[in-house]
Structure 1
Amino acid sequence: MSSSLAIAAVTATLRDLLDGKLGDEFNNFYVSTQPPDKVDKNRILVNLFLYHTMVDAHWRNMDIPWKSRPGETAQPPLALKLYYLLTAYYGESEDGVVPNNPQNQLQGSHRLLGQAMSILHDHALLDMDTIRNAIPAEERDNHVYDQVERVRITPHPLSLDEMSKIWTGLQTQYRLSVAYEVSAILIDSSRPPHRALPVLRRGSRDQGVGTILGPFPILEDIRRPRGERPGVQLGDRLEIVGSNLGGDVVKVRFYHSLLPDAADLDPEPNSSATMLSVKLPDDEGIQRDWAAGFYRVAVVVRNQGGGADKISNQLPVALSPRIAIQPNLAIVDNEGRVTLTTDCRPHVLPRQHARLLIGDREIYAERFEEAAGSLTFAIGHAPLGEFVVRLRVDGVDSLPVRQTRDGLIFDPLQKVRINGQ
C-alpha cells in the first residue's frame, strides 16, 4: 500500500521520466508540473498538469487480502485515477514547426509533444521500484509508495468541447495538449482494522444460524410412475420432479380453493433432492378432508437451526373422483325415468358442481347440503342400453378405466345397463 504522498510520488516519477529522456535532445529544456497559467512560456518545456482525480470503482469496498483476515473488518484503500494534461511549449516561437535552426532539424512544440507522447507510450507501466527511485532518499522508508499493483499510463481521449472547457477553466490561452489517465493509485487508510477473537463454536451445536438464503426448491413436473394408469386418484403415487428438494424436513403441500386448510404429506423414503415420491391417502377418515378437482402443489423445505420455510413454485394437479354406480342394472319407470346413485371418494362438497355423464348427456346431481359420499341422479327420458358412466366434479372427470396385466379396461363398477319395462 501507499501513503497519502503517493500522488506526489507518481507525479515526480512522470516528471523524471520525461526529463531524463528528453533532456539529451533539447537544449535548455525542463519539465514542469505547474498550472498552465503559471508556466514560463518563454522557455522550452513540457508541462505535466494534474487537472482531475477520480475514485477507481474497481477497487472500491475491496479488502486487500494481507491487510485483513476472515472475520476482521478493515477500511478499504482509497483507489484513485489521476488525469494529467501534457502540454509542450517551445520558447518564444509560436510556430509548431521551426525548420530553420543550426542543427538543420525540424524543431518546435509539435516535435517536443510527439517525443513526450512516445516516451509515455514506451513506458506505459510503472512498477514499485521505478516510483520509489523518484522519491527523495529520506522519504523512501516512510512507505510513500509500496503497492504491488503497477501503475498504468493510458491516453485519455477528450473531445474538442471537453478540451475547450478545461482551458476555459484554466483562464489561459489554448495550447495543443494531450490528456493521460494514470491508474490505479492505492492509498492506505490510517484507521486501524477491527480485530476479533477467533470463533470457538457457531451456535449451541456448532451448526451456525439458520438462513433462508440459498437456492429455493423448484418444481418442474408432477407425473405418475412409469407403467401406472394415467390420471390421479386418492391412493395413487405421484413423482414430483425438480431441484433443491432436499432438507431436514420436507413436506408436499396440496392446496384446494374450497378447502380451508392445505394438506401436507411426507415424501417416501426413496425420495431425493431432485425427485420426491408421495402417496395420496385413501383412508375412510380423510374422505371429508379432500375434494375432487384441481389442486396446487408445492414443496416446503425446512432446515434445522430455525429460519423461515422455503416454499417452491406451484404446479397444478387434477384429482379425479373414484365412483361406483348403483344399481348396475336399472329399469325405467312408467314415465321413462330412472334413478342412479354413485358412491364418491373423496366426498363432494356442496359448493362443487357434480354432473353424471351418461351417453351424450350430462345429468346434474340432486341438491345436497353437506359433504356427500353418495350422489343421486334422476334421469328423465332415460336412454336404453349399456353405458360407461363418469362423474364430473368441477371440470375433472372420474377415471372409467382399470389397470390390468393386459392393459386398460373399462371398470365394471362404472357401467350401467338401462332396460325398459
Structure 2
Amino acid sequence: MSNGLAIAAITAVFKNLLEDGLVQNAALSSMGNVLVTTLPPDQISIGVDGQPQLNLFLYQVSENRNADMGKSDAKGGELRYQPTHHQASAEEGAILPLAINLHYVLTAYGNKDFQTEILLGYVMQLMHQTPVLSNAMIRATLNHVATINRSGLLAQAIESTSVEALTEQLDQVRIAPNLFDTEQMSRLWSLLQGSYRPSIAYEVSMMFIGSKKSSLAPGSNKEASNQPQIEKIVASPTNSKIVAGSSLIVYGKNLNGDITRIRLNEGKSLLEPQIIEDNRILFKLPQNLYAGVHQIQIVHQQMYKYQNNHEVVSNDKTFVLHPTTKVSVQKQGFNNQDDSEGTILTVQFNPKVGQQQQVIFRLISTNENNKEVYIFNAPSRNVDDDKIHILITNIPAGSYLVKSDIDGVESYADMNQAENIVALKSGYSKELCHD
C-alpha cells in the first residue's frame, strides 16, 4: 500500500528509539536531559550553558539495488518481489514497490569534557543491540506519536491515513552503521555546511513504498470520470503564504457538483465555498485551526436524497498553515540575581499555539558579518495561548530577527518585517516562561 509518510515515520521511530534509550540508561542521568532533534546541522547552535544534544539528520535517500522488490523469505534472506502473471494482470497499471535506503548522520553536541564521547558510545551500543525495527515496534511508536501530541506535525499527517496503513508496507526495517573514513566525513560535513562535531552515519534499509491500487470496482469508469480531483492548493492572492484568515484556492477537475462542500482534516462539519467552478474553488479558512499540516477533501452531495443518498469525495490534499508573529520587548534592564542585563521578549502568535504543540524559537543576527543563530525550546503549556514569553540573558548585544517553528512549521517572518526584529542589550536564554 502506498503511503508518502513512510520516510517521516521511520525518522520518528528512529528518534523515539534514541529518546527511550537515553532515558532508560542510568549512566547518563548525571548529564540531565539530553535533547534529541531532527534538524539540519547548520541550524544547531549550542551556547556555553547549553544542554547536551543528539541530532538525527536524514541527508540522503537512495535506491536499494540489492533488494528485488519484495518481502523477506521464511529464512530471513534477501527481499524479493516476484509477482505471478495473474497478479500482474490484476494489478495492471500499478507501480511496483520501491526498495530504498535512508542515510542518516547522528551527531553529538556537548560543552563539557567527555559529553560527546559518552553520548556516542551509548548510542552505538544501543543501535548495535537494535539492528532491526520490527513491525510491532514501528506500530507502537507511531501510535505513541499519534496520541501523545495530537497537534504535532506528524500526528496530524497520520490522521489523514492510519497507523496500520503505515506499518502495513514497512515490514522489518534494518539499521546498520556506515563507518566513514576521514575523507568521506569531511565531504559530508562540507555538504551540510555546519560546524563539525563527532558523528556516526547510519543506513536504514529495506523500506518499501508502493502504489495505491484503484478502489473503483470494475465497470465504474463513469463514476471515476465524474469524481472531483484536487491538483493543488494555493493561497489567495497566489503569491502569499497560507496564514490564519487566508482564503484558499483549490485547483482541480470536476470540482463543481450538485452541492459542493469542503471537508478539513476528516471532520464531520463541512465548509461552504465562496466561489465554485469546475476547475477551481475559493473558500476562507476557519479561525479555529492550529498552525501545521491540514488535509482537504472536496465533497459532492446529491441535491435530492432519493437519487443515491451518498457522498462523492475527492482525493486528499494537504496544505501548511504558517503562524504569524509579532515580537515586543516587555522588559529590558538588570537581573537582580546576578546584576547582569536581561530581556523578556513577548512573542504573539496568530493562530493560538496549542498546549501540546512544540515551539522552537530562533534568534538570527541581522549583522551581515556575523550571522549567529540561537535556538531555544519553549516550555510546555497548560492552555492554548497566543503569547509566549522568553527570558534572555548573555546573548551578545545587537539586532535579531525572531522566528518560530510550531511543530516544524516556520513562522512567516523576514528581515523586512519590523515587528519581528528586536534590539537586545544582552541575552542567552536561561529559561522560557509562560504567562
Between structure 1 and structure 2, the one with the greater Rg is 1
Q: What is the TM-score with the length of structure 2 in the denominator?
A: 0.40
Q: Return the TM-score normalized by structure 1.
A: 0.42
Q: Which has the higher helix share?
A: 2
